[in-house]
Amino acid sequence: MATSLLLPIYPQSPRRSLARSYRWYPVRTGSKPVSLTVTKAQTSGGDGEESIVIVGAGIGGLATAVSLHRLGVRSVVLEQAESLRTGGTSLTLFKNGWRVLDAISVGPQLRTQFLEIEGMVVKNGDGKELRSFTFKDEDQSQEVRAVERRVLLETLANQLPPETIKFSSKLKTIQSNANGDTQLELEDGSKLLAKIVIGCDGIRSKVATWMGFSEPRYVGHCAFRGLGFYPEGQPFQNKVNYIYGRGIRAGYVPVSPTKVYWFICFNSPSLGPKITDPTILKRQAKELVSTWPKDLQDLIDLTPDETISRTPLVDRWLWPGVSPTASKGRVVLVGDAWHPMTPNLGQGACCALEDSVVLANKLAGAIKGGSESVEEAMESYGSERWSRAFPLTVRANLVGALLQWDNSLVCSVRDNVVIPKLVRLGPMLEHTNFECEPLFGSSET
Protein backbone atom coordinates (compact mmCIF):
# COMPACT_ATOMS: atom_id res chain seq x y z
CA MET A 1 0.00 0.00 0.00
CA ALA A 2 1.37 3.39 -0.93
CA THR A 3 2.36 5.78 1.83
CA SER A 4 3.71 9.32 1.94
CA LEU A 5 7.23 10.64 1.71
CA LEU A 6 7.96 14.29 2.43
CA LEU A 7 10.49 15.87 0.10
CA PRO A 8 11.61 19.52 -0.04
CA ILE A 9 10.66 21.59 -3.06
CA TYR A 10 12.05 25.05 -3.55
CA PRO A 11 10.45 27.61 -5.84
CA GLN A 12 12.83 28.18 -8.69
CA SER A 13 12.83 29.53 -12.22
CA PRO A 14 15.81 29.45 -14.58
CA ARG A 15 16.42 33.15 -14.07
CA ARG A 16 15.93 33.42 -10.32
CA SER A 17 18.30 32.70 -7.48
CA LEU A 18 17.79 29.77 -5.13
CA ALA A 19 15.01 30.36 -2.65
CA ARG A 20 16.13 29.96 0.95
CA SER A 21 12.98 28.32 2.31
CA TYR A 22 11.57 24.93 1.41
CA ARG A 23 7.97 23.88 0.97
CA TRP A 24 7.02 20.31 1.77
CA TYR A 25 4.87 18.04 -0.35
CA PRO A 26 3.53 14.58 0.48
CA VAL A 27 4.70 12.01 -2.06
CA ARG A 28 3.39 8.49 -2.53
CA THR A 29 5.90 5.70 -2.21
CA GLY A 30 5.49 1.98 -1.98
CA SER A 31 7.29 1.79 1.35
CA LYS A 32 6.41 2.26 5.00
CA PRO A 33 5.89 5.78 6.43
CA VAL A 34 9.19 7.61 6.72
CA SER A 35 10.46 10.62 8.57
CA LEU A 36 12.92 12.88 6.78
CA THR A 37 15.32 15.42 8.16
CA VAL A 38 17.39 17.17 5.51
CA THR A 39 20.87 18.28 6.50
CA LYS A 40 24.02 19.21 4.67
CA ALA A 41 25.62 16.14 3.09
CA GLN A 42 28.60 14.92 5.05
CA THR A 43 31.86 14.44 3.17
CA SER A 44 34.05 13.64 6.13
CA GLY A 45 33.02 12.05 9.39
CA GLY A 46 29.53 11.56 10.71
CA ASP A 47 26.31 10.66 8.93
CA GLY A 48 23.95 12.85 6.94
CA GLU A 49 20.59 12.58 5.22
CA GLU A 50 19.51 13.84 1.83
CA SER A 51 16.34 13.48 -0.23
CA ILE A 52 17.87 12.97 -3.68
CA VAL A 53 21.49 11.97 -4.14
CA ILE A 54 23.03 11.84 -7.60
CA VAL A 55 26.20 9.77 -7.84
CA GLY A 56 28.58 11.22 -10.43
CA ALA A 57 29.14 14.75 -11.75
CA GLY A 58 29.52 13.86 -15.40
CA ILE A 59 27.20 14.97 -18.17
CA GLY A 60 24.31 12.74 -17.09
CA GLY A 61 24.63 13.59 -13.40
CA LEU A 62 24.88 17.34 -13.85
CA ALA A 63 22.13 17.45 -16.48
CA THR A 64 19.84 15.51 -14.13
CA ALA A 65 20.64 17.86 -11.25
CA VAL A 66 19.98 20.91 -13.44
CA SER A 67 16.74 19.41 -14.76
CA LEU A 68 15.49 18.77 -11.23
CA HIS A 69 16.64 22.23 -10.20
CA ARG A 70 14.67 23.80 -13.03
CA LEU A 71 11.60 21.95 -11.75
CA GLY A 72 12.15 23.18 -8.21
CA VAL A 73 13.53 19.94 -6.78
CA ARG A 74 16.70 19.93 -4.71
CA SER A 75 19.43 17.31 -5.11
CA VAL A 76 23.00 16.68 -3.99
CA VAL A 77 25.66 15.45 -6.43
CA LEU A 78 28.51 13.25 -5.18
CA GLU A 79 31.70 13.42 -7.25
CA GLN A 80 34.70 11.27 -6.41
CA ALA A 81 37.26 13.67 -7.89
CA GLU A 82 38.53 16.79 -6.15
CA SER A 83 37.00 18.98 -8.86
CA LEU A 84 35.04 18.64 -12.07
CA ARG A 85 36.71 16.09 -14.34
CA THR A 86 37.09 18.44 -17.26
CA GLY A 87 39.79 16.53 -19.10
CA GLY A 88 39.17 14.84 -22.40
CA THR A 89 38.24 16.21 -25.76
CA SER A 90 34.82 16.99 -27.18
CA LEU A 91 31.57 15.27 -28.03
CA THR A 92 29.21 15.74 -30.94
CA LEU A 93 25.68 16.84 -30.10
CA PHE A 94 22.90 16.41 -32.64
CA LYS A 95 19.54 18.15 -32.50
CA ASN A 96 18.16 15.87 -29.79
CA GLY A 97 20.96 16.93 -27.47
CA TRP A 98 20.32 20.57 -28.25
CA ARG A 99 16.60 20.14 -27.54
CA VAL A 100 17.49 19.07 -24.02
CA LEU A 101 20.04 21.85 -23.52
CA ASP A 102 17.41 24.35 -24.64
CA ALA A 103 14.85 22.79 -22.29
CA ILE A 104 17.16 23.39 -19.32
CA SER A 105 18.09 26.88 -20.57
CA VAL A 106 21.78 26.41 -21.37
CA GLY A 107 21.58 25.93 -25.14
CA PRO A 108 21.93 29.62 -26.10
CA GLN A 109 24.99 30.04 -23.90
CA LEU A 110 26.75 27.06 -25.46
CA ARG A 111 25.85 27.86 -29.07
CA THR A 112 27.88 31.05 -29.01
CA GLN A 113 31.06 29.09 -28.25
CA PHE A 114 30.91 26.31 -30.83
CA LEU A 115 30.62 26.12 -34.60
CA GLU A 116 27.56 24.69 -36.29
CA ILE A 117 28.58 21.81 -38.52
CA GLU A 118 27.10 22.06 -42.02
CA GLY A 119 27.62 18.53 -43.30
CA MET A 120 30.01 15.64 -43.67
CA VAL A 121 32.57 14.38 -46.18
CA VAL A 122 33.63 10.73 -46.49
CA LYS A 123 37.01 9.81 -48.00
CA ASN A 124 39.14 6.70 -48.34
CA GLY A 125 42.67 6.34 -47.02
CA ASP A 126 44.11 7.80 -50.23
CA GLY A 127 42.16 11.01 -49.70
CA LYS A 128 39.65 10.33 -52.49
CA GLU A 129 36.21 11.76 -51.72
CA LEU A 130 33.55 9.05 -51.74
CA ARG A 131 30.50 11.10 -50.76
CA SER A 132 29.46 14.36 -49.17
CA PHE A 133 26.27 15.40 -47.40
CA THR A 134 24.72 18.63 -46.16
CA PHE A 135 22.71 18.20 -42.97
CA LYS A 136 20.10 20.86 -43.75
CA ASP A 137 19.41 19.25 -47.14
CA GLU A 138 18.44 16.07 -45.33
CA ASP A 139 16.65 17.68 -42.39
CA GLN A 140 16.05 21.40 -42.05
CA SER A 141 15.74 21.09 -38.27
CA GLN A 142 19.05 19.26 -37.80
CA GLU A 143 21.66 20.94 -35.63
CA VAL A 144 25.13 19.51 -35.14
CA ARG A 145 27.97 20.98 -33.09
CA ALA A 146 31.05 19.49 -31.48
CA VAL A 147 31.18 20.70 -27.88
CA GLU A 148 34.16 20.67 -25.54
CA ARG A 149 33.39 18.38 -22.64
CA ARG A 150 35.04 20.79 -20.21
CA VAL A 151 32.85 23.70 -21.26
CA LEU A 152 29.68 21.63 -21.16
CA LEU A 153 30.38 20.37 -17.64
CA GLU A 154 31.31 23.80 -16.33
CA THR A 155 28.22 25.35 -17.89
CA LEU A 156 25.93 22.76 -16.31
CA ALA A 157 27.65 23.03 -12.93
CA ASN A 158 27.25 26.81 -12.95
CA GLN A 159 23.45 26.42 -13.14
CA LEU A 160 23.31 24.70 -9.76
CA PRO A 161 23.03 26.32 -6.32
CA PRO A 162 26.27 26.56 -4.32
CA GLU A 163 27.26 23.43 -2.43
CA THR A 164 25.16 21.16 -4.65
CA ILE A 165 28.23 19.23 -5.83
CA LYS A 166 30.19 17.45 -3.10
CA PHE A 167 33.69 16.73 -4.33
CA SER A 168 36.11 14.10 -2.97
CA SER A 169 33.03 11.93 -2.32
CA LYS A 170 33.90 8.52 -3.73
CA LEU A 171 31.24 5.88 -3.27
CA LYS A 172 32.40 2.73 -1.46
CA THR A 173 29.30 0.68 -0.64
CA ILE A 174 25.54 0.79 -1.10
CA GLN A 175 22.97 -0.76 1.20
CA SER A 176 19.18 -0.50 1.24
CA ASN A 177 17.18 -0.63 4.44
CA ALA A 178 13.73 -1.91 5.35
CA ASN A 179 11.84 1.30 4.54
CA GLY A 180 13.39 1.71 1.09
CA ASP A 181 16.03 4.29 1.95
CA THR A 182 19.57 3.75 0.69
CA GLN A 183 22.69 4.15 2.76
CA LEU A 184 25.76 5.28 0.83
CA GLU A 185 29.13 4.82 2.45
CA LEU A 186 31.99 6.88 1.06
CA GLU A 187 35.67 6.00 0.92
CA ASP A 188 36.45 8.44 3.74
CA GLY A 189 34.13 6.51 6.05
CA SER A 190 31.25 8.98 6.06
CA LYS A 191 27.73 7.75 5.41
CA LEU A 192 24.74 9.34 3.74
CA LEU A 193 21.14 8.18 3.96
CA ALA A 194 19.20 8.95 0.77
CA LYS A 195 15.52 8.70 -0.06
CA ILE A 196 16.26 8.59 -3.80
CA VAL A 197 19.56 7.63 -5.46
CA ILE A 198 20.31 8.38 -9.12
CA GLY A 199 23.36 6.53 -10.45
CA CYS A 200 25.21 8.61 -13.04
CA ASP A 201 28.65 7.18 -12.35
CA GLY A 202 29.59 6.10 -15.85
CA ILE A 203 30.49 2.83 -17.51
CA ARG A 204 32.15 1.42 -14.37
CA SER A 205 29.16 2.31 -12.24
CA LYS A 206 29.16 1.00 -8.68
CA VAL A 207 25.45 1.72 -8.51
CA ALA A 208 24.81 -0.45 -11.60
CA THR A 209 26.95 -3.24 -10.16
CA TRP A 210 24.94 -3.15 -6.93
CA MET A 211 21.76 -3.41 -9.00
CA GLY A 212 23.04 -6.56 -10.72
CA PHE A 213 24.25 -5.26 -14.07
CA SER A 214 27.15 -6.94 -15.80
CA GLU A 215 30.34 -5.15 -16.76
CA PRO A 216 30.20 -3.40 -20.15
CA ARG A 217 31.50 -5.59 -22.98
CA TYR A 218 34.58 -4.71 -25.04
CA VAL A 219 33.56 -4.60 -28.71
CA GLY A 220 36.97 -5.24 -30.27
CA HIS A 221 37.88 -1.65 -31.17
CA CYS A 222 39.95 1.04 -29.44
CA ALA A 223 40.07 4.74 -30.17
CA PHE A 224 42.63 7.50 -29.99
CA ARG A 225 41.08 10.91 -29.38
CA GLY A 226 42.48 14.40 -29.24
CA LEU A 227 41.70 18.10 -29.57
CA GLY A 228 44.02 19.91 -31.97
CA PHE A 229 44.77 23.55 -31.27
CA TYR A 230 45.50 26.13 -33.98
CA PRO A 231 46.43 29.44 -32.26
CA GLU A 232 46.21 31.35 -35.53
CA GLY A 233 42.92 29.74 -36.56
CA GLN A 234 42.10 26.27 -37.87
CA PRO A 235 41.87 25.85 -41.67
CA PHE A 236 38.93 23.47 -42.07
CA GLN A 237 35.40 23.90 -43.35
CA ASN A 238 32.56 23.40 -40.91
CA LYS A 239 32.10 19.74 -41.81
CA VAL A 240 32.69 16.35 -40.27
CA ASN A 241 35.50 14.63 -42.17
CA TYR A 242 35.56 10.82 -42.17
CA ILE A 243 38.34 8.63 -43.59
CA TYR A 244 37.73 4.90 -43.96
CA GLY A 245 40.41 2.24 -44.34
CA ARG A 246 40.65 -1.48 -43.69
CA GLY A 247 40.01 -2.20 -40.00
CA ILE A 248 40.68 1.44 -39.21
CA ARG A 249 38.88 4.73 -39.62
CA ALA A 250 39.45 8.30 -38.56
CA GLY A 251 37.55 11.53 -38.39
CA TYR A 252 37.92 15.16 -37.46
CA VAL A 253 35.50 18.02 -36.97
CA PRO A 254 35.99 21.73 -36.17
CA VAL A 255 34.88 22.64 -32.67
CA SER A 256 35.67 26.36 -32.62
CA PRO A 257 37.72 28.80 -34.70
CA THR A 258 40.90 27.46 -33.06
CA LYS A 259 40.12 23.84 -32.04
CA VAL A 260 39.48 20.63 -33.99
CA TYR A 261 38.41 17.31 -32.49
CA TRP A 262 39.84 14.14 -34.02
CA PHE A 263 39.66 10.39 -33.48
CA ILE A 264 41.21 7.20 -34.87
CA CYS A 265 39.32 3.95 -34.32
CA PHE A 266 41.19 0.69 -34.90
CA ASN A 267 40.63 -3.03 -34.46
CA SER A 268 42.35 -4.65 -31.51
CA PRO A 269 41.67 -8.20 -30.28
CA SER A 270 42.51 -7.20 -26.71
CA LEU A 271 42.51 -4.06 -24.61
CA GLY A 272 46.29 -3.92 -24.53
CA PRO A 273 48.31 -2.14 -21.84
CA LYS A 274 47.05 1.14 -20.46
CA ILE A 275 49.21 3.95 -21.82
CA THR A 276 48.98 7.54 -20.63
CA ASP A 277 52.27 9.00 -21.90
CA PRO A 278 51.12 11.55 -24.54
CA THR A 279 54.35 11.20 -26.53
CA ILE A 280 53.77 7.47 -26.95
CA LEU A 281 50.08 7.97 -27.70
CA LYS A 282 50.82 10.50 -30.43
CA ARG A 283 53.44 8.26 -31.99
CA GLN A 284 51.12 5.27 -32.02
CA ALA A 285 48.26 7.30 -33.47
CA LYS A 286 50.42 8.68 -36.27
CA GLU A 287 51.80 5.25 -37.11
CA LEU A 288 48.27 3.97 -37.70
CA VAL A 289 47.58 6.65 -40.33
CA SER A 290 51.09 7.24 -41.65
CA THR A 291 50.01 6.94 -45.30
CA TRP A 292 46.80 8.96 -44.91
CA PRO A 293 46.22 12.66 -45.70
CA LYS A 294 48.76 15.03 -44.13
CA ASP A 295 45.99 17.15 -42.55
CA LEU A 296 45.36 14.36 -40.08
CA GLN A 297 49.06 13.98 -39.25
CA ASP A 298 49.38 17.72 -38.62
CA LEU A 299 46.28 17.68 -36.46
CA ILE A 300 47.80 15.04 -34.19
CA ASP A 301 51.04 17.04 -33.92
CA LEU A 302 49.05 20.14 -32.88
CA THR A 303 47.23 18.30 -30.08
CA PRO A 304 48.06 19.44 -26.52
CA ASP A 305 49.28 16.56 -24.38
CA GLU A 306 46.46 16.83 -21.87
CA THR A 307 43.76 16.20 -24.48
CA ILE A 308 45.03 13.00 -26.10
CA SER A 309 43.79 9.61 -24.93
CA ARG A 310 43.43 5.97 -25.93
CA THR A 311 40.35 4.12 -24.75
CA PRO A 312 38.64 0.79 -25.45
CA LEU A 313 35.09 0.98 -26.84
CA VAL A 314 32.48 -0.85 -24.81
CA ASP A 315 28.73 -1.25 -24.64
CA ARG A 316 26.00 -3.11 -22.77
CA TRP A 317 22.98 -4.61 -24.50
CA LEU A 318 19.87 -4.39 -22.32
CA TRP A 319 18.21 -7.64 -23.33
CA PRO A 320 14.52 -7.67 -22.31
CA GLY A 321 13.78 -10.19 -19.60
CA VAL A 322 17.49 -10.80 -19.03
CA SER A 323 19.07 -7.49 -18.02
CA PRO A 324 18.01 -5.85 -14.76
CA THR A 325 15.58 -2.95 -15.04
CA ALA A 326 16.71 0.67 -14.81
CA SER A 327 15.48 1.01 -11.23
CA LYS A 328 15.54 -0.98 -8.03
CA GLY A 329 13.32 0.40 -5.30
CA ARG A 330 14.13 4.09 -5.21
CA VAL A 331 17.51 3.72 -6.97
CA VAL A 332 17.69 4.44 -10.70
CA LEU A 333 20.35 4.73 -13.43
CA VAL A 334 21.03 7.39 -16.05
CA GLY A 335 23.29 7.50 -19.11
CA ASP A 336 26.43 5.36 -19.38
CA ALA A 337 25.81 3.83 -15.96
CA TRP A 338 22.78 2.13 -17.48
CA HIS A 339 23.26 1.89 -21.26
CA PRO A 340 26.87 2.49 -22.34
CA MET A 341 27.07 2.53 -26.12
CA THR A 342 29.79 2.89 -28.72
CA PRO A 343 30.23 6.38 -30.24
CA ASN A 344 29.40 5.37 -33.80
CA LEU A 345 26.09 7.29 -33.90
CA GLY A 346 27.24 10.18 -31.71
CA GLN A 347 24.42 9.43 -29.28
CA GLY A 348 26.04 8.58 -25.95
CA ALA A 349 25.91 12.10 -24.52
CA CYS A 350 22.65 12.89 -26.32
CA CYS A 351 20.98 9.84 -24.76
CA ALA A 352 22.24 10.78 -21.30
CA LEU A 353 20.78 14.26 -21.75
CA GLU A 354 17.46 12.77 -22.85
CA ASP A 355 17.46 10.47 -19.82
CA SER A 356 17.98 13.43 -17.52
CA VAL A 357 14.94 15.42 -18.58
CA VAL A 358 12.63 12.41 -18.81
CA LEU A 359 13.59 11.19 -15.34
CA ALA A 360 13.44 14.67 -13.81
CA ASN A 361 9.96 15.28 -15.18
CA LYS A 362 8.68 11.97 -13.86
CA LEU A 363 10.30 12.32 -10.45
CA ALA A 364 9.13 15.91 -10.05
CA GLY A 365 5.58 14.81 -10.85
CA ALA A 366 5.72 12.10 -8.19
CA ILE A 367 7.39 14.34 -5.62
CA LYS A 368 4.81 17.08 -6.10
CA GLY A 369 1.89 14.76 -5.46
CA GLY A 370 1.14 13.27 -8.87
CA SER A 371 -0.72 10.03 -9.41
CA GLU A 372 2.48 7.93 -9.51
CA SER A 373 4.68 6.96 -6.57
CA VAL A 374 8.41 7.57 -6.81
CA GLU A 375 8.95 3.88 -7.55
CA GLU A 376 6.29 3.93 -10.25
CA ALA A 377 7.80 7.07 -11.78
CA MET A 378 11.17 5.33 -11.98
CA GLU A 379 9.63 2.24 -13.55
CA SER A 380 7.83 4.41 -16.10
CA TYR A 381 11.11 6.17 -16.91
CA GLY A 382 12.88 2.84 -17.34
CA SER A 383 10.23 1.48 -19.68
CA GLU A 384 10.13 4.63 -21.81
CA ARG A 385 13.87 5.04 -22.04
CA TRP A 386 14.65 1.35 -22.62
CA SER A 387 12.69 1.43 -25.88
CA ARG A 388 14.91 4.31 -26.95
CA ALA A 389 18.32 3.30 -25.58
CA PHE A 390 18.42 -0.41 -26.43
CA PRO A 391 17.87 -0.02 -30.21
CA LEU A 392 20.41 2.81 -30.34
CA THR A 393 22.99 0.71 -28.50
CA VAL A 394 22.52 -2.18 -30.90
CA ARG A 395 22.53 0.05 -33.96
CA ALA A 396 25.69 1.87 -32.86
CA ASN A 397 27.41 -1.46 -32.35
CA LEU A 398 26.41 -2.78 -35.78
CA VAL A 399 27.45 0.43 -37.55
CA GLY A 400 30.85 0.22 -35.88
CA ALA A 401 31.27 -3.42 -36.84
CA LEU A 402 30.48 -2.64 -40.47
CA LEU A 403 32.86 0.31 -40.60
CA GLN A 404 35.67 -1.67 -38.98
CA TRP A 405 35.71 -4.46 -41.57
CA ASP A 406 39.22 -5.33 -42.69
CA ASN A 407 38.34 -7.66 -45.58
CA SER A 408 39.67 -6.08 -48.79
CA LEU A 409 36.72 -7.20 -50.93
CA VAL A 410 34.15 -5.97 -48.44
CA CYS A 411 35.95 -2.64 -48.08
CA SER A 412 36.08 -2.27 -51.87
CA VAL A 413 32.30 -2.79 -52.11
CA ARG A 414 31.81 -0.32 -49.26
CA ASP A 415 33.95 2.37 -50.90
CA ASN A 416 32.76 1.90 -54.49
CA VAL A 417 29.11 0.93 -54.12
CA VAL A 418 27.60 1.30 -50.67
CA ILE A 419 28.82 4.76 -49.70
CA PRO A 420 28.73 6.46 -53.14
CA LYS A 421 25.45 4.99 -54.34
CA LEU A 422 23.35 3.46 -51.58
CA VAL A 423 23.77 5.40 -48.35
CA ARG A 424 21.04 7.94 -47.54
CA LEU A 425 21.79 10.29 -44.66
CA GLY A 426 18.21 11.28 -43.86
CA PRO A 427 17.03 7.87 -42.58
CA MET A 428 20.32 7.48 -40.71
CA LEU A 429 19.55 10.60 -38.67
CA GLU A 430 15.96 9.78 -37.76
CA HIS A 431 17.14 8.68 -34.33
CA THR A 432 17.99 12.31 -33.53
CA ASN A 433 14.28 13.20 -33.40
CA PHE A 434 13.39 14.02 -29.82
CA GLU A 435 11.15 16.71 -28.36
CA CYS A 436 10.88 18.05 -24.82
CA GLU A 437 9.29 21.14 -23.34
CA PRO A 438 11.23 23.75 -21.37
CA LEU A 439 11.56 22.87 -17.69
CA PHE A 440 10.30 25.54 -15.36
CA GLY A 441 9.48 25.39 -11.67
CA SER A 442 7.46 28.10 -10.01
CA SER A 443 6.52 29.28 -6.53
CA GLU A 444 2.87 28.46 -7.36
CA THR A 445 3.60 24.72 -7.79
Backbone dihedral region for residue 285 (phi beyond 0: left; psi -120 to 50: alpha; all else: beta): alpha
Coil vs helix vs strand at 165: strand
Q: Distance between alpha carbon 362 and the CA centroid of its chain, in Å?
A: 19
Q: Give the separation between CA 340 and CA 349, rounded to whole angstroms.
A: 10
Q: Which pLDDT value is given to residue 43?
A: 37
The tens place of each residue's pLDDT in the chain, 445 residues long, gives 444 344 444 433 333 332 223 333 334 444 332 222 233 334 334 456 789 999 999 999 999 999 999 999 999 999 999 999 887 789 999 999 999 999 999 999 999 999 999 999 999 999 999 999 999 998 999 999 999 999 999 999 999 999 999 999 999 999 999 999 999 999 999 999 999 999 999 999 999 999 999 999 999 999 999 999 999 999 999 999 999 999 999 999 999 999 999 999 999 998 888 899 999 999 999 999 999 989 999 999 999 999 999 999 999 999 999 999 999 999 999 999 999 999 999 999 999 999 999 999 999 999 988 788 999 999 999 999 999 999 999 999 999 999 999 999 999 999 999 999 998 888 889 999 999 999 986 432 3
pLDDT at 88: 75
Phi-psi region of 396 (alpha: psi -120 to 50; beta: other; left: phi over 0): alpha
The pLDDT of residue 13 is 37
Domain coordinates in residue numbering, the chain: 48-432
What's the confidence (pLDDT) of residue 281?
96
439-to-48, 58, 81, 99, 279 alpha-carbon distances in Å: 29, 20, 29, 11, 45
Q: Residue 403: its pLDDT value, please? A: 93
User: Which uninterrupted H or E stretch holds 298?
Assistant: helix 294-301
With H, G, I as helix, E, B as strand and everything else as coil, classify residue 295.
Answer: helix
Closest CA to 124 of 243, 258, 291: 243
Q: Helices 278-288 and 294-301: crossing angle, nearest 10°? A: 180
84's CB contacts (< 8 A; 6+ apart) are 57, 150, 153, 154, 157, 165
Whole-angstrom distance, CA of residue 428 vs CA of residue 434: 14
385-408 CB burial, b ≥16 within 10 A, e <16: bbebbbebbebbbeebeebbbeee
Write out the CATH class of domain 48-432.
alpha beta
Using one digit for the tens of pLDDT, what is the confidence trace for 349-390? 999 999 999 999 999 999 988 788 999 999 999 999 999 999
pLDDT tens digits, 223-232: 999 999 999 9
In this prediction, residue 427 carries a pLDDT of 87
